[in-house]
Structure 1
Amino acid sequence: MSKKTTMIDENQLQSLVHTGAGFDLIRYSSLPELLGKDAPFILYYMGKNLARKSEFNEKESIISFFQYFGWGQLSLVKEKKKETFFELSGHVIEKRLHNPSLEVDFRMEAGFIAEAIQILKDTPCECIEEIDKKNNLVTFHVMNT
């Protein structure tokens, strides 16, 4: 097996056809069973790894990648010197949050955002997420460490 890393760009993502159902079943049902108690940690680092293979020019690129991945509508809410806040919303987020058969988290997305901001700012970053079911959104708080 080759260890060559292929970078992912927006043009490649635009050519993919996806439905969220298959992704959601793998992500929220199969992976947690397979990964066990380490699932949140591994998913966070899977997101970071995916971001390392992606090409970013600006924060708007992160927003585009979320759209192409089918992860929902990401918006930049606020930016401070050492902190950045994003919100994730949209129809797909509402459906995930209110599906009684799915126990959702957004660790992969948090890892992706942390690494993407780290790449853009060239400084170590971590990200935590807060789920707001009432308003159908997820807030990501990125901190430069």
Structure 2
Amino acid sequence: MTYKQDTSISVKELENLHTAGAGYDILRYVSLPELLGKESHTLLYFMGRKLARKFHKETTEDIVHIFAHLGWGNLELVKLKKKEMTFQLMADSVVQRLKAPFPADFRLEAGFLAESLQQIQKRECECIESIHSRIHQVEFKVIFSQ
């Protein structure tokens, strides 16, 4: 199967993908930051935004579904304001990443969430993530500029 750059990925196609998480985590949190260097924080955010453009999404539920199937965790909308949305990310996989011997970040997920909501809401936005290590939870605050 060849992959074309402009090909869109449906949410349903994710259900056919299965992988063990340890290899992914090592690549994600050890190899990629070494490869990307000091700009890895920024580059991962924009990689997430670019990745989001590959998926066809119509609703926030589609984003939640994608997060779950990519193994990123259970994404839940906890606060909705006119110019801001707050999400929480929780799962056993999130707990394990936060307990890992290497620093875990969620910049890729933040970029993915920002771009996905920007596409759905048709409003420019950015996403800031906060890691709450004590309760093993990640919070994403999406801020709309309009």
Residue 129 (structure 1) aligned with residue 129 (structure 2): yes
Offset at residue 4 of structure 1 (A) = 3.8
Tell me the distance in 1 between the aligned counterparts of 2:141 and 2:31.
Answer: 27
Amino acid at match of 1:64: H
Residue 103 (structure 1) aligned with residue 103 (structure 2): yes
2:118 paired residue number = 118
Mapping of residues 1-145 of structure 1, within 5 Å: 4-99=5-100, 101-145=101-145
Unaligned runs of 5+ in 2: none
Offset at residue 3 of structure 1 (A) = 6.0
Q: 1:4 to 1:27 in 2, by over 3 A?
A: closer
Tell me the distance in 2 between the aligned counterparts of 1:66 and 1:48.
Answer: 14
Which 4+ stretches in 1 moved above 2 angstroms? none
Q: 1:3 to 1:13 in 2, by over 3 A?
A: closer
Offset at residue 114 of structure 1 (A) = 0.4
- 3-state DSSP class of the match of 1:21? helix
Tell me the distance in 2 between the aligned counterparts of 1:5 and 1:74.
Answer: 27
**CA RMSD, aligned part only?**
1.4
TM-score (structure 1 length as normaliser): 0.95
Offset at residue 12 of structure 1 (A) = 1.1
Tell me the distance in 2 between the aligned counterparts of 1:93 and 1:3.
Answer: 31
Tell me the distance in 1 between the aligned counterparts of 2:75 and 2:30.
Answer: 24
CA-to-aligned-CA distance 1:40-93 (integer Å, 9 cap, x gap): 110000000011111111101110000010001111111111100100011000
Offset at residue 22 of structure 1 (A) = 1.1
